[in-house]
Amino acid sequence: MNDRRGPALVVPRTGGSDVLVVEDRPAPAPGPDEVLVEVAAVGVNFIDVYQREGVYPVEPPFVACNEGAGTVVEVGSAVRGLGVGDRVAWGQAAGSGARYVAVPAAVVVRVPDGVDLDDAAAVMLQGLTAHYLVTSTYAVEEGTTALVHAAAGGVGQLLVQMVKALGGRVVATAGGPEKCATASRLGADHVVDYRAVEDLAAAVREVAGGGVDVAYDGVGKDTFDASLASLRPRGTLALFGGASGQVPPFDLQRLNAAGSCFVTRPKLLDHIATRDELEWRARELLEAVARGTLEVTVGGRYDLADAARAYDALEGRATQGKLLLLP
């Protein structure tokens, strides 16, 4: 037992951001395979929204959030290789929205020197996602042309930079001039303000000089058709989210008409399922942050008690980069 306590962000029932409450709770006792972490920062993600709304079912009440970084303060009896005082981060562990969180040791990675805990909390979930999209879902290589939607967002900013680092060409979309400027600054070769064009696929094909090899689409409902129409024959549409809503059922015959195209709907958990794969992706990601070759933009920091404002901003398209909650 310990006498540590702190705030926890609780979802008492499914619903909008107004259901969120902060409770003062004792620190959980870590199980044999867990570490107890004093959390420095919690990442704000769409998966938290989907869970709170019941799109991804989780039985309420539950502690919100999935991503964080902090310092180990207690170690479960069966844990090897981690000790008190270690700086750690993780991208997917249920109940991460609290000052003290018991996290399975299997999902945490050490944060290297040169990466602060805020940046680690900001980059794990979205960065591991961008990493698997560009290495495994459609492996970008020299000369690949990739369409990246919502390029000023959390995953989007990282995708733009990773495609460029691999020698690819980026056609980015973003909503409004400020977000378009961010995408350009991060290296996008062409940027389309998709709020300002009538025919998005035509605009993409025009600046790309033809169809793109891959469309990375986390916007979903509003962009899916344009993503498909932007592909070259045998191109790939990687639909990885639904910020604008989920894509309705889809007639496979459309892939034939589009030119023998591929559609996939990947998720992070399937790409960090083994310890080796998690460590490989996290090492490449965090080393790039430490070297300064991958820029992490924290677009806002909110006290845990103000979490509803953070989610309203994310869901309301008002953010760039990553939002953090400080417990």
For ligand NDP, give the closer residue by CB, 117 or 192: 192
222 exposed, middle or buried (CB, 10 Å; 0-12, 13-18, 19+)? middle
Residues 6+ apart with CB under 8 A from 318: 312
Q: Is residue 311 a contact residue for ligand NDP (CB under 6 A)?
A: no
The distance of closest approach from Cβ of residue 17 to ligand NDP in the complex, given in angstroms and rounded to an integer, is 13
Q: Which residues contact 103 (CB under 8 A, 6 or more apart)?
A: 34, 35, 37, 68, 88, 90, 93, 96
Give alpha helix (H) positions in 190-236. Answer: 200-208, 224-229
Single out the residue of 171, 215, 219, 298 in contact with ligand NDP (rule: CB under 6 A): 219
- Residue closer to ligand NDP by CB (options 268, 304) is 268
Give the range of 14-22, 66-74, 279-287, 314-322 binding ligand NDP by CB under 6 A. Answer: 314-322
> Among 13-21, 61-69, 197-205, 234-242, which window interacts with ligand NDP (CB under 6 A)?
234-242
- Give me the count of residues in the chain: 327
The minimum distance between CB 54 and ligand NDP, in angstroms, equals 15
Query: Token match 């037992």: residue?
Result: 1
Q: Does 154 engage in binding with ligand NDP (CB under 6 A)?
A: yes
Which residue's CB is nearer to ligand NDP, number 86 or number 315? 315
User: Which residues are paired to 149 by β-bridges?
Assistant: none
- Rounded to the nearest 10°, the torsion over CA 270, 154, 237, 246 is 80
**For residue 90, what are its two tokens?**
């993780």
**Given candidates 241, 272, 298, 325, which one binds ligand NDP under the rule CB under 6 A?**
241
Q: Would you say 313 and 319 are in contact if contact means Cβ atoms under 8 Å apart?
A: yes
| Residue 155 is a binding residue for ligand NDP (CB under 6 A) | yes
Out of 21, 244, 255, 309, the only residue in the binding site for ligand NDP (CB under 6 A) is: 244
CB of 108: closest distance to ligand NDP in angstroms?
Answer: 18
Per CB under 6 A, which region of 53-61, 196-204, 254-262, 313-321 contacts ligand NDP?
313-321
**DSSP string across 248-287:** PP--THHHHHTTS-EEE---GGGGS-SHHHHHHHHHHHHH
What residue ranges bind ligand NDP (CB under 6 A)? 45-46, 125-126, 129, 150, 152-156, 174-175, 179, 218-219, 222, 240-244, 266-268, 314-315, 317, 319
